[in-house]
């Protein structure tokens, strides 16, 4: 989900230099039940890592949709009273990623539109690459937008088409027009619908409960909700759940599969499976391959917690160098606490991480990070370790150099802020102060992901985008 008219202010916080997914979606279908908003609430909790800015739930009772959405974490937005008000046996939910300030409650999701065909609630993870063009056209034809997000373009087009079509046909007509990355959950009437874009860039999977179905960005929520993973929604597939049955519609059979490799590097929870591959195992294999591709003599492997930990375990296993704790993370330093001014930028890494001096003193350390985007944080951590007495710090990155921005629903800085876009590995090593630096190769990542070399998007590592980008120069208009 992309904001129109947003400056790149989110990248100025300088606190957390990861790429960030911008959203997570959930849909629950349980005919005859009244209180499934609570299930969506728990599901959103489990997807909180995909978005911390706002949260929302829309509940559908026989076509009548009630919703609540607000800025904040899931547990801040909802309480018992609100959840109990959201009655229905179909419900969808959404979490949105926190930016550094350009955010408004009006942009929270689910979006609810009232059309001739009835009320429709929609939640979107992804980003359209032709949203500005479509928005201009809709505005020229007299449509007024309530929000500044691209997801409203999808909702507006569905609402427009539904005048003459069924809900399913309206969605398919809309999907023939919009381009980009989208995992959608939609509810209207007696239906819960899930859609994945023709490239399958963002994940969406299906779970089965004893009394219905669940759609989710990630399978990690299923055990919590008493569901089992049946399968992923296929790229170019729409699933329609109605009358207790799930029907599949392949609305696009032509596009090339291109699931996001970064879901395996960082975004998704390790206990999720995406397109049949477990994230923990893929991440561990990245670490093992990294050990083979970039070996080094050292005394201890440590991780940049928590996201580098699984790859670090893999690196230690493959290299024979013992794994140990070197950095302790303060889990209570959130993005909202950090203000993007210079003083906080300086303090940010020390607030978030501290060194276990007794463990690193006098040792040659291999430090595993999952990814390096701007490079500013890596240099600060290397310095922390050296100040604490580490003899050598060898930085190993369990993904390839990030050279290009993402246009598919991921918060990325401009290309000029990506350290690997115009610096060699040797230059980056020097800038971070590490004794050596090594990255996982693109092939190493593809091998770890195991979805087939041609079925995975690695565009931020090689600039080869899986689709044309008609609004390349208009990203932040």
Q: Which of 23, 205, 294, 429 is catalytic?
A: 23
301 binds ligand SF4 (CB under 6 A): no
Regarding 408 and contact with ligand SF4 (CB under 6 A), the answer is: yes
Q: Please answer whether residues 107 and 54 qualify as being in contact, where contact means their C-beta atoms are separated by less than 8 angstroms.
A: yes
DSSP-derived 3-state class of residue 244: coil
> Least distance (Å) from ligand SF4 to the CB of residue 376?
19
User: Shortest distance, CB of residue 80 to ligand SF4, whole angstroms?
Assistant: 37
- DSSP H helices in 294-352: 309-319, 342-352
The C-alpha angle with vertex 407 and arms to 402 and 413, in degrees rounded to 5, equals 50
How do strand 237-242 and strand 259-260 relate by DSSP bridges? Answer: unpaired
Answer for which of 2, 458, 467, 471 binds ligand SF4 (CB under 6 A) is 458
To ligand SF4, the closest distance from the beta carbon of 201 in angstroms equals 5
x/- letters, 215..254, toward ligand SF4 (CB under 6 A): ----------------------------------------
The structure tokens 């930016």 sit at 99
Minimum distance between the CB of residue 61 and ligand SF4, rounded to whole angstroms? Answer: 36
Give the residue, chosen from 83, 193, 195, 201, that forms a contact with ligand SF4 under the rule CB under 6 A.
Answer: 201
Please, which residues bridge with residue 94 across strands?
A: 25, 56
Closest to ligand SF4 by CB, 59 or 457? 457
340, 12 contact by CB (below 8 A): yes
Q: Per-residue contact track with ligand SF4, 43 to 72, x per CB under 6 A?
A: ------------------------------
From 397, 359, 361, 357, select the one nearest 378 (Cα to Cα): 397
Compare residues 156 and 372 and give the one whose CB is closer to ligand SF4. Answer: 372
Q: Looking only at residues 5 through 24 of this chain, which bind ligand SF4 when binding is defined by CB under 6 A?
A: 19
How many chain residues touch ligand SF4 (CB under 6 A)? 12
Q: Which of residues 106-145 bind ligand SF4 (CB under 6 A)?
A: none
CA distance 397 to 442: 12
> Which residue of 68, 182, 262, 264 would you call a contact of ligand SF4, by CB under 6 A?
262
Would you give the DSSP letter of residue 294?
Answer: S
- Give the nearer residue to ligand SF4 in terms of CB position, either 194 or 409: 409
Rounded CA-CA distance 144/260 in Å is 33
- 271, exposed or middle or buried, with CB in 10 Å at 0-12, 13-18, 19+? middle
Q: How far, in Å, CA of 466 to CA of 2, rounded?
A: 18
406 binds ligand SF4, rule: CB under 6 A: yes
Looking only at residues 377 through 396 of this chain, which bind ligand SF4 when binding is defined by CB under 6 A?
none
Residue 260 is among the residues annotated as catalytic for this protein: no
Residue nearest to ligand SF4 (CB): 406
The candidate with the shortest Cα–Cα distance to 125, out of 405, 466, 413, 409, is: 409
DSSP codes joined into one string, 161-224: HTTTS-HHHHHHHHHTT--EEEEEEEEETTEEEEEE-TT--S--EEEEETTEEEEES-GGGTTT
- Of 367, 364, 379, which is closest to residue 427 (Cα–Cα)? 379
Residue span binding ligand SF4 (CB under 6 A) among the ranges 49-57, 64-72, 256-264, 414-422:
256-264
Q: Does 457 engage in binding with ligand SF4 (CB under 6 A)?
A: yes
- Catalytic residues, by residue number, are 23
Give contact residues for ligand SF4 (rule: CB under 6 A).
Answer: 19, 201, 260-262, 406, 408, 410, 457-460
């Amino acid at each position: 989900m992309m904001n129109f008219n947003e400056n790149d202010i989110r990248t100025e916080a300088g606190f957390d230099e990861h790429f960030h997914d911008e959203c997570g979606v959930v849909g629950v279908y349980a005919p005859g039940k009244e209180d499934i908003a609570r299930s969506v609430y728990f599901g959103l909790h489990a997807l909180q890592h995909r978005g911390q800015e706002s949260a929302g739930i829309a509940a559908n009772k026989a076509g009548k949709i009630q919703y609540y959405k607000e800025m904040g974490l899931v547990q801040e937005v909802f309480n018992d009273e609100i959840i109990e008000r959201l009655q229905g046996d179909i419900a969808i939910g959404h979490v949105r990623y926190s930016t550094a300030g350009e955010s408004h409650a009006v942009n929270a999701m689910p979006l609810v539109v009232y059309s001739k065909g009835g009320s429709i609630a929609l939640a979107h993870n992804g980003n359209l690459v032709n949203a500005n063009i479509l928005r201009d056209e809709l505005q020229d034809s007299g449509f007024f937008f309530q929000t500044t997000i691209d997801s409203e373009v999808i909702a507006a087009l569905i609402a427009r088409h539904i005048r003459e079509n069924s809900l399913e046909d309206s969605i398919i007509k809309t999907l023939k027009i919009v381009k980009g990355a989208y995992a959608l959950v939609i509810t209207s009437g007696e239906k819960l619908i899930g859609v994945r874009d023709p490239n399958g860039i963002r994940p969406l999977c299906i779970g089965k409960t004893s009394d219905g179905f669940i759609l989710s960005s990630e399978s990690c929520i299923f055990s919590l909700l008493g569901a089992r993973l049946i399968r992923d929604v296929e790229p170019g597939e729409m699933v329609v759940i109605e009358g207790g049955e799930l029907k599949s519609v392949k609305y696009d059979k032509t596009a090339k599969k291109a699931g996001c490799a970064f879901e395996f590097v960082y975004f998704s929870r390790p206990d999720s499976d995406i397109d049949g591959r477990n994230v923990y195992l893929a991440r561990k294999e990245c670490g093992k391959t990294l050990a083979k591709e970039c070996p080094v003599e050292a005394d201890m492997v440590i991780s940049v917690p928590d996201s580098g930990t699984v790859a670090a375990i893999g690196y230690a296993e493959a290299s024979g160098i013992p794994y140990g704790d070197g950095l302790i993370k303060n889990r209570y330093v959130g993005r909202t606490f950090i203000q993007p001014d210079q003083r906080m930028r300086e303090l940010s890494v020390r607030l978030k991480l501290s060194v276990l001096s007794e463990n690193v003193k006098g040792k040659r350390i291999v430090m595993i990070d999952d990814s390096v985007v701007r490079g500013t944080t890596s240099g600060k951590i290397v310095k922390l370790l050296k100040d604490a007495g580490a003899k050598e710090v060898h930085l190993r990155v369990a993904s390839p150099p990030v050279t290009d921005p993402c246009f598919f629903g991921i918060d990325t800085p401009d290309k000029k802020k990506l350290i690997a876009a115009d610096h060699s590995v040797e230059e980056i090593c020097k800038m971070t102060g590490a004794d050596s630096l090594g990255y996982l190769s693109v092939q190493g990542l593809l091998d770890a992901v195991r979805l087939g070399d041609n079925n995975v998007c690695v565009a931020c590592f090689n600039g080869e985008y899986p689709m044309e980008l008609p609004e390349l120069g208009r990203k932040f208009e």
